[in-house]
Amino acid sequence: MSGTLAYLSPFGHLLVVFTYLMPVLLSFDPVTPVVFLILNLLTLFGLGHVRLRRFLRIMGPLLIFPIGLFVLNLLFTDTSGHGDQFIRVAWLTLNEYALHRALVIALRALSLISISIGYLLVTGPLELVSAMMQQVGLPPRLGFSIFVGWNAIPRFKENLSRIRTVHRIRLRGQSRTFRDLVPTAVTLLADAIRHAQRAAVSMAVRGIEEAEHRTYLRALPWRVRDWIYLAGNLAVVAGLFAWLIGSGLFVFGLG
Amino acid sequence: MNERESLVELHDLSVIYPGAAAPAVSGVNLSVRRGGRLLLLGPSGCGKSTLLFVMAGIIPDVVPATLRGQMVTGGARIGVVLQNPEAQMIAPTVEEEIAFGLENHGVPPVEMEQRITGVLSRFGLEAYRHWSPSRLSGGEAQKVALAAAVALEPELLFLDEPTAFLDPVATRDFFSALSTLSPDTSLVIVEHKLEYVLPVVDRYVRLSRDGSITAEGNPAELSRTYWYDAVLDLVQFHRPASGSPQGVPSVEAAATRQFEKQEPVLRCRDVRHVYAGGKTALDGMDLDVREGECVVIMGSNGSGKSTFLDKISAVLPVQSHTILLRNADVGKLKPAALYETLLAVPQNPEHMFLTEKVEAELDLSTPDRDDLDRIASDFGIAGLLERNPYTLSEGEKRRLTVASAVLDGRHLLLFDEPTYGLDAEAVATLVEIVRDLSSQGATLLIVTHSPELAFLVADRILMLERGRIVFSGTPADLASEGEIDPAFLPVWERASGSTQGRTATVPRRTKGSK
């Protein structure tokens, strides 16, 4: 984690992020997603010290999803039974219901993506697993297996590329058919199973099975400040949610 | 406690894996005493690692198998270092990797810090404390694995071929680190590189192929004969009528094949490669390889050997006019044209498998049934034709890939670390195969960490360092080259003392002679 968030539990921050996501998931209005998007950005840039350029660089390619959803919903929403009100935007005449629906869905997608990416930007997956092992009793065997799996991703990628190349060379540069994918998958699977077995042995010989009184080199206890951060955020989220409902801006909807 | 009490005792112990027809280890009686240092020897697949895994408690607790007989353990603290350094790394940083076992055993954090600092300093790893293990070289990672085991302050340390994946210098460094262990620490080690391991053990046990003990004794007895037994005798070296006092065979002068006048098959000029992240792997490599020549490439891990093969086989992007194969620009050749001539045999034999049967694998390389049967027989895999390639032993897998390459009939063959996972006997077979290929006119490029293989098959050896060729010459030239680390010389060269000013010629078997 970075910034002030570095001093807080990654698990606590995950809970906070869930509290941001829930109202957005339950809403079907254009305001709620924007409110929680802004709250998330304030947390990211204020407490997480995330650089705007980095955030935009990652979010940029992902904007295709909200934009795509906007266009699809604008063009293909079933408007029957929702009136025939149209509005003109420049030279376009748009169905008002379709535009509203497209806008809501696009903003909701943008908000959900932004909140999720924000979490990944300030928290490493391994930090989260470490915190969960120490704070919520995630079994170390499972936690360290996740570490092994995470560390194996580049190996998997490299092996896939290497196997495909070796097969291409062996087949004298012939184009691969769908059938050729089977041996690639078998080889990858065999390698993954063997790697997992070796890692399991490596963990077992160092006592993972007998770790009843496990200690930690880098202790990550749940502290008072984590309670304060969680409670403070819950209060803000509850306040905003109450205001959105009270003012009639919040519309419930899962569609 | 008695100074020489038994830490582990095996009485008539047999181990049977699920579904196996025969026991992997059969009727073994053995004990490891406090402070004792035991070497387990034997051919690949004879049950050495199984025996070590049983004593370390990995079998049957983690790896299922049925044990018969009796095993008595004194509850000694143990540490284990496995073969593959990469597969042992669990944690995100080196210090957490070392801490992993200590944490499991409930060692308080302050004491943990002290122990971690201690082992990092002892094995010269201080600079890597906060590194991710994925950034380490194989040698460094294996030293971290040793440090992690030693941090547990084991009374009994198990090492299963700990240098199998290391280059010669890293191997020497690893054993140097091992020699710093307290004399009270007992060792059980499986290791093929006898020249390094013999000084650190005080007893050996040799297993036969059926998993039973065929010999045991003092390593001093073994050191008088192992040069022949392990490598040289197996490749039918000419044993001198009377050996030198150290038992080192004198090597015969042999006709050196002349290639200089031939047109190069492969021409490399200023070949460079920089990986994403900025690491320079190749820094201007120049090389001509001539028809029928066998060029062996050696160097430390990360020196650019495998990258160079990847460039030649166009696995990595090739800049125009830097690599020419029979005067055709590899950078512009279509894959079909390039791979009509060139075949790369990968480090991991499984990567080459495309079918579910050994016979089908060979069939992919040749439509001629007679050729297939002959080569299968030559390579000792005729009895395995119906088997699934994934179920073969490492040596058998390697033989299958080389047999496929031979049947394939391509002129330029690239081998990446063909000796991984092979015992001395399998290496000797490989030497014979490579010599045969070479005498039949195939052009070979072999990357290896085995100086023995290099000296036995190479017309020319290249030494790479940081992506550059720092030596190019015959094995005899390399033996007399004062600047080369002696770790890159074969056992018989190192055993004969100083490498300065000596020349040695390794006999090449010409076709039809043995």
Tens-digit pLDDT profile for residues B272-320: 999 887 888 899 999 999 988 999 999 988 889 989 999 999 989 999 8
Supply the pLDDT for residue B111. 96
pLDDT of residue B252: 36
User: Is pLDDT at B31 greater than 90 in this prediction?
Assistant: yes
Pull the structure tokens for residue B378. 């030559």
Question: Do A206 and B152 make contact, defined as CB atoms within 8 angstroms?
Answer: yes
Rounded to a whole number, what is the distance in Å from the CA of A20 to chain B's nearest CA? 30
Give φ, ψ of B27 to 5 degrees. 55, 45
pLDDT-based confidence at residue B74 (cuts at 50, 70, 90): confident
CA separation for the pair B99, B133 (Å, rounded): 13
Number of Cβ atoms within 10 Å of the Cβ of A189: 11
**B205 strand-pairing partners:** B40, B216
Residue among A154, A163, A211 whose CB faces B351 most closely: A163
Task: Specify the amino acid at residue A138.
Answer: L
Within 8 A of B334 by CB-CB distance, chain A residues are 173
Three-state DSSP class for residue B22? coil
Partner-chain residue, chosen from B57, B90, B390, that has the shortest CB–CB distance to A203? B90
Distance from C-alpha of B81 to C-alpha of A201, rounded to nearest angstrom: 10
Quote the pLDDT of residue A123. 87
CA distance B52 to B142: 18
pLDDT in tens, B334-377: 999 999 999 999 988 899 999 889 999 999 988 889 989 988 88
Confidence class for position B234, pLDDT limits 50, 70, 90: low
What is the rounded end-to-end Cα distance, in angstroms, of chain B?
57
Q: Return all residues near B496 (Cβ < 8 A) that are at least 6 apart.
A: B244, B246, B248, B502
The answer to whether the CB atoms of A205 and B58 lie below 8 A apart is yes
pLDDT at A249 over 50: yes
Instruction: Give contacts of B 66-125 with A, CB under 8 A.
Output: 78-80, 82, 84, 86-92, 95-96, 99-109, 112-113, 116
Pick B225 or B469 by higher pLDDT: B469
CB contact under 8 Å between B96 and A144, yes or no, is: no
Confidence band for B507, pLDDT divided at 50, 70 and 90: very low
Q: Which band of pLDDT confidence, cut at 50, 70 and 90, is reported for residue B426? A: confident
The SS3 assignment for B49 reads helix
- The model's pLDDT over B149-190, given as tens digits with 9 standing for 90+, comes to 999 999 999 999 898 888 888 889 889 988 888 888 999 999
**Token digits for B109?**
């954090």
Average the pLDDT over each of A75-79, B362-366, B495-499 and give the range with the smallest value.
B495-499
Residue B242 pLDDT > 60: no
How many Cβ atoms are within 10 Å of A117's Cβ, its own excluded? 16
Sequence-ordered strand ranges (E) for B107-250:
156-160, 186-190, 203-207, 213-217
Task: Yes or no: say if B458 and B475 are a contact pair by the CB < 8 Å rule.
Answer: yes
| Average pLDDT of the residues in A64-82 | 86
- The maximal CA–CA distance of chain A, rounded, in angstroms, is 71
Lowest mean pLDDT of A27-41, A154-168, A223-237, name the range.
A154-168
Instruction: Give the C-alpha separation, B296 to B287, whole Å.
Output: 12
When scoring A175, A206, A210, A214 by the number of chain B Cβ atoms within 10 A, the one with the most, hence best to mutate, is: A206
Average pLDDT of the residues in B257-265: 74
Predicted pLDDT at B511: 35
Q: How confident is the model at residue A97 (pLDDT cuts 50, 70, 90)?
A: confident
Cβ contact A148–B96 (<8 Å):
no
DSSP character string of A38-106: HHHHHIIIIIS---HHHHHHHHHHHTHHHHHHHHHHHHH---TTS---EEEETTEEEEHHHHHHHHHHH
Dump the DSSP string for chain A: --GGGGGS-HHHHHHHHHHHHHHHHHB-SSHHHHHHHHHHHHIIIIIS---HHHHHHHHHHHTHHHHHHHHHHHHH---TTS---EEEETTEEEEHHHHHHHHHHHHHHHHHHHHHHHHHHH--HHHHHHHHHHHS---HHHHHHHHHHHHHHHHHHHHHHHHHHHHHHHTTTPPPPGGGHHHHHHHHHHHHHHHHHHHHHHHHHTTGGG-TT---SS-----HHHHHHHHHHHHHHHHHHHHHHHTT---B---
The stretch A232-237 carries a mean pLDDT of 95
B338 at A interface, C-beta within 8 A: yes
